[in-house]
Copies of this chain bind each other. A is one copy, B any other.
Amino acid sequence: MGSATQKQTTLQQTSKMKLTILGCHSAVPRANTNPTSQILEIKNHIFLIDCGEGTQVELRKSKVKFNRIKHIFISHLHGDHYFGLIGLISTFRLLTRETELHIYAPKGLKELVTLQMKLAGSWTNYQLIFHELTSIESELIYEDDKVEVHTIPLDHRVYTNGFLFKEKLGERKLDMNATLNADIDVAYYNKLKQGFDVENNQGELIKNETVTKKPNKSKSYAFCSDTAYNETMVEQIKNVTVLYHESTFLEKNEQLATPTKHSTAKQAASIAKQAEVGTLILGHFSTRYDNLNDFKLEAQTIFDNVQLAADGKVFEF
């Protein structure tokens, strides 16, 4: 029993979704503020989202195993979201990586990285696979048996996508007491988890729902940066567990947000409210603000469950 309990605990732990903020500031890297980058750990994947300058150093500080990153998602080709990527690709090579690496990014990045490698006279010794994005409609860009990733079309000064990461609905969970009482052979347990009715050792049909419980609610994470206030995303991100939405400015500086196609904290909160998300995380703060708590206070006038991103901060859901 001890070992079974331990296994169950482990399963529960791995089903947690973990978000590590490597950088959450806009524009210019400074001694104490990093540009956008984050790690989403979901269903045993380590997804890297955006990769501003300095990301590889932040990855080291956060003790992320470089080799476990197999998929990198780049929202758009403004420097504060990708200038650290070529260095990371190059570092992977120097670390003699062999695992293939997938990069999902706007068209153009492949040409750029290829030129950089040509100029350096060095090519990766691992497979580097670009998935160039051009669609202005949401598309499914990654899928396996546990998780899927869709683009979220955003409204910014250049072609930009957010990303929606969704766990697939898991297996049903055995009610062990009921299963044992029903005298079902262990060989049928997998069928039960998949939702089938099965026969027990006496040849009686056992209805699935009498011996299993609903799977855990599947979790989801929507990354939306950079974007102007954009209600068209609401339907797609409806009820997500966590929404990371940029809030470069406070409402008092809305006149800066509008022409640069960024959002205010209040606008981010309005999207969160309409989409009825679980938690709103604010980020991509302009470095002009000293007191980031003002972002939280402003957002909470609209939507209650607000968190502030911070470089190095870890969220678990």
User: What is the interface of chain A, defined by CB distance below 8 A to chain B?
Assistant: 27-31, 53-54, 56-57, 60-61, 77-79, 83-84, 86-87, 90-91, 94-95, 106, 108-109, 111-112, 115-116, 118-122, 157-158
Contact = CB atoms under 8 A, between A and B. Distances in A.
A108 B119 CA distance: 7
A90 B86 contact: no
Given A57-B54, A94-B28, A112-B112, A83 B87 contact: yes
Contact of A112 (B30, B87, B115): B115
Nearest to A33: B57
Nearest to A59: B31
Contacts of A91: 27-29
B116 A112 contact: yes
Nearest to A35: B87
A31 B60 contact: yes
B77 A56 contact: no
B119 A61 contact: no
B83 A79 contact: no
A109 B119 contact: yes
A61 to B, nearest CB: 6
A165 to B, nearest CB: 25
Given A53-B87, A112-B112, A77 B157 contact: no
A87 B79 contact: yes
Given A112-B112, A112-B116, 13 more contacts: A28-B56, A28-B95, A29-B87, A53-B53, A53-B84, A54-B57, A79-B87, A79-B90, A83-B87, A115-B115, A120-B158, A121-B157, A121-B158
Nearest to A53: B87
Contacts of A87: 29, 53, 79, 83
Most chain B C-beta atoms within 10 Å of own C-beta, residue among A90, A120, A157: A120
Nearest to A158: B121
B29 A56 contact: yes
A25 to B, nearest CB: 12
A54 to B, nearest CB: 6
B121 A112 contact: no
A158 B122 CA distance: 10
Contacts of A29: 54, 56-57, 87, 91
A31 B53 contact: no
A193 to B, nearest CB: 44
Given A54-B53, A119-B112, A31 B61 contact: yes
